[in-house]
Amino acid sequence: MSDKQLAEYMIEYVGGKHNIKNVIHCITRVRFYLVDKEKADTNKIKELDSVMGVVEAQGQYQVVVGNKVNAIYEEVMRQLNNDQAFDSTEGVVENDSNSDFLQLFRNGFNQFIGIITGSMMPVIGLLAGAGIIKGLQASLVTFDLLQDSSQSYLLINTIADGIFYFLPVILGFTAAQKLKVNPIVLAVVGAILIHPNIVTIASSTAAKVAIFGIEFPIMNYTASVFPILVAAWLATYVEKFLKKIVPLVISSIVSPIVEVLVLSLAVLLIIGPIITIISDGLAFGISTIFDFNTIIGGAVYCALFPVLVVFGMHWPLIPIIVNDLTVNGFSMMNAFSSVLMMGIAGATCSIALKTKKAQLKQVAFAATLSQICGVGEPAIYGILLKYKKVFYLVTLSNIFGGALAGFLHLVNYGFAGGVIGFASFINPVAGIDKNFYAYLLSHIGTFLLSFLLTWLFGFNDKMNAADEL
């Protein structure tokens, strides 16, 4: 089936063009915002070639298609004539006066998740690449192939750090696109947050600024995540208000600068300090839990994470990981995420080598490659959810891997993980040390255990529908 035919069927089976409010996509899923979800024929969609599964979460109807997502998304948008362009959470929250508190909370939470997902997605590849560069740079220094005092080191380090440093600018732009507000204005607000003057004040002893005799604490917003996302959300209200009161003839000049002024002051003086303290505390709290008992923490995290992916609830963890990396310089949570990747990859690799079914072999090999590169949905939806024994054995392997990583106090110094992100486990200061050996032991051990358990007990070609979840 061609991408064009697949897109046609997907549009038809979700209820037709008039049932589609908006369409976005992530690494593996085409995500529809539907007028009426009851009109979608989930069974027919699941039967389509290249469709690995369907998930309803975050106010979205998500069709899992794996590595073909870009081509299929573009074809869907072509057939929709771009009427439902990439944007938004519009339609996710419906303010019904009869809704109970729980429903309102659920809708608000889904909207928040949607904002994070849409804002972070375009940046994930850059963050992962920057982490790999920093790890490789540390390797070169370790083997005396590069001096940390050289201009070459300074240049490479600037490139890698620059992506993290300017996160408020990048996320301001992407969050504005997500929320259908002015992306240039939000990028400018992000730039103001990391202006050298702000950084200087934040790094001073007082770290405060006095306005009309009132002192306000000033935080360092370089590499921050939450403050600019809140600014983007506020912009939706500020822009609506300005459209009502500013005459059209001067709106192109007055509205943008007023919006920049209002949002910048709101973030710098009120929201920024509150959000930064909360996010710092969140990162500290998670690190404290892992520090309290890393063995149990690692086992539980590695067991539950694939389930979060199934329900599309794993993306809120990304800002926490980014925050942990920027605050502490390392992330234990991201290290555990990397370990569980190997548990899943071990199972899919075992199936790819054992099965004699050509189609399944192709899917399993592709899922394995995708998994070791850090993208887990093809393996989860293409393999794990079809065979309950495999799913359970992967969970068991990941419990072992998480506990082992916790016992070894494994941490990650960059955003990347798995095999392709090995360099992110090299200490940027000390180079290759016990942490890297812990990485090798936990990852190889988890992969081999999952591979062997799946080969011996989890899968054979005689399995039928009764063996599926």
Query: Whole-angstrom Cα distance, residue 295 to residue 370?
Result: 28
Domain termination residue (choose one: 283, 304, 335): 283
pLDDT at residue 90 greater than cutoff 50: no
pLDDT at residue 27 greater than cutoff 80: no
Kindly indicate the confidence band of residue 209, based on its pLDDT and cuts at 50, 70 and 90: confident
Please check whether residues 431 and 300 belong to one and the same domain.
Answer: yes
Residue 369 lies inside a defined structural domain of this protein: yes
pLDDT at residue 88 greater than cutoff 60: no
Query: Whole-angstrom Cα distance, residue 197 to residue 34?
Result: 46
Query: Whole-angstrom Cα distance, residue 467 to residue 457?
Result: 12
Average confidence (pLDDT) over 69-75: 87
Residue 103 lies inside a defined structural domain of this protein: no
Please check whether residues 30 and 177 belong to one and the same domain.
Answer: no
Domain termination residue (choose one: 255, 283, 311): 283
Average confidence (pLDDT) over 60-71: 85
pLDDT at residue 124 greater than cutoff 70: no
Q: Strand order of the sheet with strand 20-25?
A: 20-25, 29-34, 60-64, 53-57
Greater pLDDT, 112 or 28 = 28
Whole-structure pTM over 0.85, yes or no? Answer: no
List pLDDT tens digits, range 272-285: 778 667 656 655 66
Please check whether residues 413 and 374 belong to one and the same domain.
Answer: yes
Please check whether residues 124 and 233 belong to one and the same domain.
Answer: yes
Average confidence (pLDDT) over 431-437: 91
DSSP string covering 238-296: HHHHHHHHS-HHHHHHHHHHHHHHHHHHHIIIIIHHHHHHHHHHHHHHHHHHHHH-HHH
Kindly indicate the confidence band of residue 177, based on its pLDDT and cuts at 50, 70 and 90: confident
Proportion of the chain above pLDDT 70, given as a percent: 83
Average confidence (pLDDT) over 41-63: 87
What is the domain count for the chain?
A: 3
- Let me know if 373 is exposed, middle or buried by CB neighbors in 10 A (0-12, 13-18, 19+): middle
pLDDT at position 318, please?
72
pLDDT at residue 94 greater than cutoff 90: no
pLDDT at residue 111 greater than cutoff 60: yes
Q: Which structure tokens are listed for 379?
A: 């393996």
Average confidence (pLDDT) over 415-431: 82
Kindly indicate the confidence band of residue 384, based on its pLDDT and cuts at 50, 70 and 90: confident
pLDDT at position 85, please?
44
Q: How far apart are the first and last CA of the chain?
A: 26
Helix or strand or coil: residue 185? Answer: helix
Greater pLDDT, 74 or 450 = 450
Average confidence (pLDDT) over 159-175: 89
pLDDT at residue 255 greater than cutoff 90: yes
Please check whether residues 70 and 118 belong to one and the same domain.
Answer: no
User: 447 near 342, Cβ under 8 Å?
Assistant: yes
Residue 10 lies inside a defined structural domain of this protein: yes
CATH number at residue 74: 3.30.1360.60
Domain termination residue (choose one: 262, 283, 304): 283
Please check whether residues 381 and 432 belong to one and the same domain.
Answer: yes
Query: Whole-angstrom Cα distance, residue 279 to residue 281?
Result: 5
Kindly indicate the confidence band of residue 93, based on its pLDDT and cuts at 50, 70 and 90: very low
Burial 127-148 (b: 16+ CB within 10 A, else e): bbbbbbbbbbbbbbbbeeebee
pLDDT at position 142, please?
66
Please check whether residues 220 and 304 belong to one and the same domain.
Answer: no
Averaged confidence pLDDT in the chain: 82
List pLDDT tens digits, range 134-164: 767 777 876 778 888 899 989 988 988 888 8
List pLDDT tens digits, range 294-353: 898 899 889 888 877 766 556 557 777 877 788 788 888 899 999 999 999 999 999 999
The CA–CA distances, whole Å, from 285 to 35, 188, 203, 301 equal 39, 32, 24, 15
Proportion of the chain above pLDDT 90, given as a percent: 37
Please check whether residues 41 and 82 belong to one and the same domain.
Answer: yes
Residue 456 lies inside a defined structural domain of this protein: yes
Helix or strand or coil: residue 20? Answer: strand
pLDDT at position 442, please?
96
pLDDT at position 99, please?
42
Lowest mean pLDDT among 51-55, 83-87, 397-401: 83-87
Q: Strand 60-64 and strand 29-34: pairing?
A: antiparallel
Residue 163 lies inside a defined structural domain of this protein: yes
Please check whether residues 56 and 159 belong to one and the same domain.
Answer: no
Please check whether residues 72 and 128 belong to one and the same domain.
Answer: no
Greater pLDDT, 256 or 414 = 256
Residue 94 lies inside a defined structural domain of this protein: no
Please check whether residues 192 and 261 belong to one and the same domain.
Answer: yes
Residue 97 lies inside a defined structural domain of this protein: no
**Residue 443, domain extent:** 288-467
Residue 96 lies inside a defined structural domain of this protein: no
Report the range out of 191-200, 205-214, 287-296 with the highest average pLDDT: 191-200
Average confidence (pLDDT) over 21-46: 88
pLDDT at residue 382 greater than cutoff 70: yes
Kindly indicate the confidence band of residue 96, based on its pLDDT and cuts at 50, 70 and 90: very low
Please check whether residues 461 and 330 belong to one and the same domain.
Answer: yes
